[in-house]
Structure 1
Amino acid sequence: MSWALLAAVGGGWLMSLAYPDPGWWPLLVPGLGLVLWALRGRGVGGGLLVGAVSGFAYYGFLIEWLTVYLGLVPWLALTLAQVFFTALGGALIAQAWRWVPRAWPGPAGRLVLTPVVVAGAWMTREAVSSVFPFGGFAWGRLAHSQAEGPLAPLVAWTGFSALSFLIAALVAVTVAAIGATDLARLHRASVPVGLAAALLVWPAFPIATTGTMTVAAVQGNSNSGLFADYQRGEILQDHYDATQPLFGRDDIDLLVWPENASDLDPLRDDYASQVMDIVSREVGAPLAVGTITASGDETFNSQLLWRAGEGAVDQYDKIRPVPFAEYLPMRDFFTPLAPDLFALVPRDYSFGQRDTVFDIDGVIAGIAICWDIVSDDLFFQTIDDDAEILISPTNNADFGVSDQSVQQLAIARLRAIEAGRTLVNASTVGASAIVAPDGSTITDLPLFTAGTMVADVPLSDTVTPAHYFGRFLEWLVIIFTVTTIGAARVLGRGTAKGKR
């Protein structure tokens, strides 16, 4: 167990390095390999312990950016919340390692079925923690590490969950092969080598274009964090100033400003609405602008589509505000536990009910505000609403000079590949980039630098397999995994009794 715990810590740390920054994606393989090796031969208690230790090392390093403005307590709370799930996942994986090869002791059971079930257990943990509780925390899935890696094109075929499953299967089969010392070396090596070769040579899904449009996006480099000390209208001014180099152009079809780019709501503030009119008129295009809107007693994190002389012609209200950041779930329960901490969430944003797309003169643009980028079902809904291009306005100012914004851009890059759509990631401070449907960067901006991006980008209405299957593959793997482990326990115990 001592060696297993050391492997769990080292494996979790190596895995965290696979994500930006530094984004050394090959380290995911040895890191995950160490964690899975540490879980071999463990019972439920040992699996819980190894899973918890590896999860703390993994998430503790991965989301260190949470400490920039919020300090250690929120970082520790979120890390421990994920440790709860990694511990349960560790116990499930340990059960797979223990019982499946007992029930099916032949080479196929040990080198194929067992690693598949182990990978399914890992994916099951990811799938549950990505949606539960309060919408889950879908950050740090195995798939997210591959934005710059050779497996990224697979996400258009598989979606995020199934790509995580394939990565885990490749590592698990390698661990199983190394441990099967009683089998011939060539026999053991054939399975992991064959799977790796298949994944690496699998072709990218072909994307058909339906046309192009010219998109411009602005990064205002504004002081727009939660605890920022700024003057009223200052954030709006920053984005107006950054946009001025685009004035007078007549080739732009859509201008995108980030989330919270206007600290004044143009639906309620005449000055802000006049600025929106000026920007839209001078650029010669509708403006998608992020702001905070209100309707009665409800407050929304919104993106408005603004046209000069017409005002807001469409609006998207964030459907899923971030718990413990944009709203406090069960406020009466949590507030007495840490009044000073939860006072940092003074208001509760309401859950939006509008659709997720804007019609830009016949071109359908899907909108995903900031944390929406990690929600599978929201992106499936956007494609269901016929989006031909994806717009992801975000405000990363709360995380300062940290890895959060580049990790988020990596997820956005994979979303572009998954959907087969151009994606415009526009941030207040960066990382801002326009990403092609194959995940390559069309244009980008340096962090913490005011500037603009302009590009003629492809449009598409292709339905990728990832979208066609939706969550079907995820549910299929979960049901197969749980059923197989349950059957293995029954068969494995029967085999052990028979031998006695």
Structure 2
Amino acid sequence: MSVLLAFLSGILLSGAFAPFALWWLAPSALLLLLFAFDGNGFKVRALVVIVFSASFFLPLLHWTSVYVGALPWLLLVLLQVGLLFPLALHPTTDPKFFILFPSAWVCIEILRTHFPFGGFGWGRVGFSQANAPYSSFASIAGVSGLSFLVALVSVSLFLVIKKEFTLGLVTLFVVGILFSTTLLRTHVVSEEVVTVLAVQGGVPKLGLDFNDRAHAVFSMHEKSTRSYLESHSQKPSFIVWPENSVDVDPFKDNFVRDSLNKLADDFQVPIIIGAVLTKGNGYENASIAWLPGSGPSSIYVKKHLTPFGEYVPLRSLAEFVSPFAKGIIDFIPGTDLQTHVIGGAKISPVICYELLDDQLNRAMAARGNTLLIQTNSATFGLTPESAQELEISRIRAIEHQRFAISIATSGISAAIDDQGRVLKATAINKPEAFLVNLPLQSPRSVSDSLGNSAEILIVFLPLFLFLVIPFLYRVLLKRFSVVRKRSNQ
């Protein structure tokens, strides 16, 4: 029965993410997982973790196999199973120990975001909660806080069902307090607004070789932009293109450089492009602001590169696992953060995989007043990857209290408000462009102000409830007994 519950738990948790995106499945799934753990010894708990992790990550990450085959996908899932395995060490002999489960879950999520090779935080429970009524808690305690709240809800229900009413009511009370912080939060939208034209130009062909005809990808974005501007009278404050929209170095390719200059000059509108630059024997993945009259201005070079996508760790092993690894030339990471300043807009670029990096997103949000997520979804075809990435972008907009544009080569692209609501969105694998007004939000969110302190607090809060409160209760009870004896003498 425990193994069956673990399997159902993993399947349900995968359903909390896109394409289904049913947020309420997350607390339901973790509740089943707790019952799968309940009262079992280490060997059964170990089997429960393996079955749960596999049934969760196999469907969630299936998109990684679409063009490279099953083996890399299975190895990635195996790695995630290994990282979740410490959950099997969680004691379950007494329901009281389950108070520590939310902290254990968040600790493992934090580990997954940093290790190995810089981490892979895909599948963090908080990323599935953009539609939840408590999603704004991310602006107070970040993604980890949101994951913690979901796990705490599951623990509360588990304890009540197990008739541990005192602990259950205490944890429900804590849930209520955490939820109430979202109601007390003030929300003010800036009156300073910019108009953004987002261009999803498309690619000639989906797949890993989408940029074999890099000039074609550039031309599709250039033509889509020109066509929109010629057919609409409203002039945008600036234009955004996705990652890899210019996969030919514009500093070395005369045709691309001249075309960008002409496009910006003809309409007198700045363009923020995603470009690949050559540097020595490698490449740089860059976001560049291209201005009318002067050309390239601010340049941000991607800092957090995609392992096995933009560089290959353990190259000999990687080439044995997948022949595609042999064709990867390592990119060179950037060293500095850079915003694009256009008028009153301070645009913080986040490039694709960097969306998973808590610290980088927090630092970028602090430097700007709007978020720009430039990504390339063509390498994953028509899979749910793009929809899952959009859900992550929605949570980031809530967490940092910034309006955001998520722009992809072949979709899904979207404009998102600071409450995580999608204002406009494109279809997948269809060239589109849309115009949207974005307020420029400058105040820092509570989560950004607290930084890592929020994670430390939520990790140790259950430990405080589990160890300190009973200790204080015993001390006070003992002291009360002493006072009572003295008064009776």
The two structures have a TM-score, normalised by structure 2, of: 0.89
Label 1:282 to 1:265 Cα distance change in 2 as closer, same or farther (>3 A).
same
Q: Hey, what does 1:286 align to over in structure 2? A: 270
| Structure 1 unpaired stretches of 5+ | 102-109, 489-500
Structure 1 residues 84-103: aligned runs within 5 Å: 84-88=82-86, 90-92=87-89, 94-95=90-91, 97-98=92-93
Match of 1:465 in 2: 446
Shift of 1:441: 1.8
Q: Report what 1:372 is aligned to.
A: 354
Residue number in structure 1 paired with 2:139: 156
**Match of residue 331 from structure 1:** 315
Matched residue, 1:384: 366
Q: Distance in 2 between matches of 1:485 and 1:191?
A: 11
Q: What amino acid sits opposite 1:163 in the alignment? A: L
Identity value in percent = 27
Counterpart check, 1:447 vs 2:449? no
Q: Is the 8 A contact 1:423 1:436 kept in 2?
A: yes
Counterpart of 2:385 in structure 1 is 404
Give CA-to-partner distance per residue, 1:102-121, whole Å, 9 cap, x none: xxxxxxxx3xxx44311111
Provide the C-alpha distance between the structure 1 equivalents of 2:399 and 2:468, rounded to a whole number of angstroms. 34
Contact persistence 1:388–1:459 (CA under 8 A): yes
Asked if structure 1 preserves the Cα contact closer than 8 Å seen for 2:16 and 2:22, the reply is yes
In structure 2, relative to structure 1, the CA distance for the partners of 1:482 and 1:71 (3 Å cut) is: farther
304-313 vs 202-211, which deviates more? 202-211
Aligned residue for 2:293, secondary structure, equals coil
Q: Which residue of 1 aligns with 2:125?
A: 142
Stretches (4+) displaced over 6 A: 481-488
Distance 1:98 1:61, change over 3 A: same
Q: How far, CA to CA, are the matches of 1:339 and 1:434 in structure 2?
A: 36
Aligned to 1:416, the other structure's residue is in SS state helix
Measured against aligned partners, the alpha-carbon deviations of 1:278-311 in whole angstroms (never above 9, x if no partner) come to: 2212332111111110223341111111113312
Q: Tell me, yes or no, if structure 1 residue 310 matches structure 2 residue 294.
A: yes
Q: What pairs with 1:249-268 in structure 2 (closer than 5 Å)?
A: 249=233, 251-268=235-252
Q: d(CA) in 2 for partners of 1:166 and 1:217?
A: 34
Match of 1:319 among 290, 294, 303: 303
* Partner-residue secondary structure (3-state), 2:74: helix
Relative to 1, partners in 2 of residues 1:235 and 1:10: Cα closer, same or farther, differing over 3 Å?
same
User: Quick one: structure 1 residues 347 and 409, their matched pair in 2 at CA, closer, same or farther if it must change by over 3 Å?
Assistant: same
In structure 2, C-alpha distance between the alignment counterparts of 1:482 and 1:285, rounded to whole Å: 55
1:462 deviates by: 1.1
Residue of structure 2 equivalent to 1:117? 100
Quick check: 77-86 or 219-228, which moved more?
219-228
- Equivalents in 2 of 1:407, 1:415: separation in Å? 13
Once residues 424 and 266 of structure 1 are traced to their aligned partners in structure 2, the CA distance between those partners, rounded to angstroms, is 23
Say which is worse superposed, 44-53 or 414-423, in terms of deviation. Answer: 44-53
SS of aligned partner of 1:122: helix
TM-score (norm 1): 0.87
Question: How many angstroms apart in 2 are the aligned matches of 1:481 and 1:86?
Answer: 20
The gaps in structure 2 that reach 5 residues or longer are: 470-489
Q: 1:483 to 1:47 in 2, by over 3 A?
A: farther
* Structure 2 CA distance for aligned equivalents of residues 177 and 476 of structure 1: 25
Please say if 1:47 is aligned against 2:28. no
RMSD: 2.4
Aligned residue number for residue 35 of structure 1? 33
Whether the 8 Å contact between 1:147 and 1:414 is mirrored in structure 2 is yes
